[in-house]
Chains A and B, each alone.
Chain A
Amino acid sequence: MANIIVDRRAAGAKALSTQRIMLSVVLALIPGIVAYCYFISPLVLVNALFAVLTALLLEAFAIRLRGKKCMPQIQDASIALAAILLALAVPPMIPLWQLLVGVAVMVLLGKHVYGGLGHNPFNPAMVGYAAMLISFPQSMTLWMDPLGLENLALVDLIQAKLTLNIVTSNPQIAWDGITQATPLEHIRSLKAQSQTIVLSDLIQRTMDSGWCWVNLGFLLGGLFLLFKRIIQWHIPVSVIAGYVLWAGLFSEPGLPLHLSVFSGSLILGAFFIATDPVTAASSKRGRLIFGFGIGSLSFVIREFGGYPEGIAFAVLLMNLCVPLIDHADRQLARRN
């Protein structure tokens, strides 16, 4: 007879399984994804679907390669979540083969070389994203212009995506017409040309481009996760606080804070990416430090770095610090 020490069912356990946690996070992404489809581009669905399918296949392959049974591990849905996050982070017009490279890096180098779920030091989705950002800098800036989109049927766009070479693919598609810089890139280029930023224009641009709504969608999902206690408040709050603190002190006087918070992927990062428990610090105090670090670094990268968006590198850099943070925290806890 099995010797069960803790009888979960008799004790009335209501613990969420890993799978339930991951699927809840996917669920919480839905409002943001809907807003994304509506305001930016429905192509994100194609990307997400493609990323999830390839990620699952690659994971099954990787697990078999490691000589394990793949069903129980794949079922935890963690790689599906990572794939969706990656698809949300890249521009919708990204060619699928490039996305495939990102997914492969994510699954193989981000996760399974370290021994799979729970052992990876870096956030897999951000590993994939960083690899793509470095390898395909040009196509990683292919953001959609919502106004240009009306001129094109979805089918054409998908066709364009499937073709391998974006530049020479379809002469009918004028790339400059349908892609456009995100508000952040816009600010950056304006600053580079030392033009003054017209605030109303900028607000208009942000609202028009729909990023604001997308981020509000993600915020809604994030609050749902907090409410459901899937995540705890420490990381999202400290990420945003870290960013807002430095941005409030040092950014252009004309640029209102809420615009910079709601125009990039800070919200997505704070609620969905940085909160990945595997790669975050484990204690509450550690998580506050971890989140604050991400917020601060993402400001620094946005402001001074060569990339328009800083979240990915900020998360990866802070992932690197997690063992240090955990260790320091334990020392501190022992001293008390």
Chain B
Amino acid sequence: MLNKITSAIGLNVSLGRSAHRKTAPFGFHGGLSLDTNKRALGDNTELCSIISINPPALLTIPLINYRKDSVAPKVQIHEKVKRGQALADNIVSPVSGVVEAIEHCEIIHPGGLRAPCVVIRNDRLDTPINTDTEYRNNKQEQQAVSHDNDNAEAQAKIAHFIAHSTTMLDQAALVGLGGAGFPTAQKLLSSNQDLQTLIINAAECEPEIACDEALMRSSSIQIAYGISALSQLTQCKRCVVAIEDTKTLAIESMRTALDTIDSTAELMIIPTRYPAGAESPLIQNVTGQFIPHNEKPINHGVICINVATTYALWQAINGQPMDSRVVSLGGAEMPNPCNVRVRFGTPVSYVLQQTGNAPADDTIRIRAGGPLSGFDLHSTNVPITAMTNCILAEAALCAPAAQPCIRCDDCADVCPAMLQPQQLYWYTQAAEHDKCEELQLDACIECGCCDLVCPASIKLTETFRFAKSNANYIKAQQQLADDAELRFLDRKNRLEQKEQARQLAIEQRKEKLRSQKKPDREKINAALNRIRSKRHTQKD
């Protein structure tokens, strides 16, 4: 009901003008209407600036990919690097300077994991690697230039990009800025099959996170060019920009921008409902397709690209590889909430300090990610990465102790993946991994909805996140064991075969000897006969 009302309001908002309007989303199962509570946007006025901070003296770039597997570095210690130079596959240096170390450092991770990182000492010159292309460090200047660009010039750039897409995407080091950090080039280049729908994800549904909204309000024209480049590259039949209805100012500015460049992309206003911005609910909402968790959307003719990624793509087309992102600073205990553009590798503590948000005392919890999808940090001396969309400061919290499940089934009602969280919880507690698999634990998107509604305060999502990584671990162990067994069997077979071959050879040799011996005996007999006959003759 509430949804209908809000979507009706959204509809009113979108009744302005322009052809890019589509207000018939299909909806998705479950989800929650939460207070959006975006502190980082301030009082939600037209003015919404993104603060820039100078990069710190030391930057720590984790050498891991989106699957948290480590990748091999392409630089060496004491090597001089330029801004934009590849440090590893799909990872570029955010500043120019010297590689000081390649070592294990703590990264943003719920378990306080350490991972191999490249530590770069910033020479504060920002010498770019792409000297041939237009390249500017100053964001303001860049914006001004982009605004001045007339359409023709932009289209020429896009055409140039389409012609050289593989190399340009390779240099751009684009990864999804929505939170999962999937390499964008991989997504785009795998889409050579005919693409029905390209969804630009501008539904930033989680409370407190407002980086995309701020970007849309301040740089909508660049985003529009990025969208245009994307839809030309993928040759999609339909390009939909999905925005939630509460982001009225962002909707306005995106509509103006799309109108200005005569884009064919549709603007789809979707009801504000968490987790509308997660991939599978979003696709359900926009196209009505339900994509099973173990299949890729691309095989169903859909890809989703985060709106901030399209901005980064446009920057890349202008010669600037992706080396920074907008981070929302929010939470009840953040003195100075804002959106700030941060180079990757900048420590969280430095960002907080530079924006006047250094925590007053150590009872304050610093969180990476939103209130539902994020987690508390063990230390603030960890680097921001492409996946860090939000930093929250919250007061110390005593979480209520979990009570027994009363089987109210509220969790299943809100689960966007249409799972049975209460059953899953039961089986994760009993460590029945095959049952969990049967109930599709893998399909859990860790959205936190079930956790939020559970009257017994059971930490469902945490349990699932742990169980999933545990299941993966067990699977990996199983794989290792299987491999070892295979190797063992192989070796055994090999040895057996060898032994058999040896036996065979011995047999054959014996056989040969035997067959050789036969004529010998005849000879011997013949000889004996001869001797005997000789003797006979001698006696005679």
Contacts and interface: CB of A to CB of B under 8 A. Distances in A.
Contact of A10 (B378, B392, B462): B392
Interface string B432-467: 000000000000000010011111110101100100
B207 interface: yes
B406 interface: yes
Contacts of B453: 13, 15
Interface in A106-165: 116-119
Given A7-B394, A18-B456, A117 B406 contact: yes
A87 B465 CA distance: 44
Nearest to B439: A330
Given A7-B371, A15-B454, A282-B422, A2 B34 contact: no
A4 B397 contact: yes
Contacts of A20: 455
B404 A119 contact: yes
B420 A330 contact: yes
Interface string B19-40: 0000000000000001101000
Contacts of A9: 371, 394, 397
A21 B454 CA distance: 11
Given A1-B378, A277-B408, A10 B451 contact: no
A2 B374 CA distance: 13
A282 B408 CA distance: 7
Q: Chain A interface: which size bin?
A: 20 to 34
A6 B451 contact: yes
A79 to B, nearest CB: 13
A212 B458 CA distance: 41
A49 to B, nearest CB: 25
Contacts of A12: 34-35, 37, 207, 371
Residue from the set A11, A73, A278 with the largest chain B CB neighbour count within 10 Å: A11
Nearest to A277: B408
Contacts of B456: 17-18, 118
A283 interface: yes
B376 interface: yes
Contact of B455 (A4, A6, A10, A21): A21
A6 to B, nearest CB: 4
Interface of A: 1-13, 15-18, 20-21, 72-73, 76, 78, 116-119, 277-278, 280, 282-283, 330
Given A17-B403, A118-B456, 4 more contacts: A4-B397, A17-B456, A117-B404, A280-B407
Interface of B: 34-35, 37, 110-111, 207-208, 331-332, 365, 367, 370-372, 374-378, 392, 394, 397, 399-401, 403-410, 412, 420, 422-423, 448, 451-457, 459, 461-462, 465
11 contacts: A6-B448, A7-B394, A9-B371, A10-B208, A11-B371, A72-B403, A73-B403, A118-B403, A118-B405, A282-B407, A282-B409
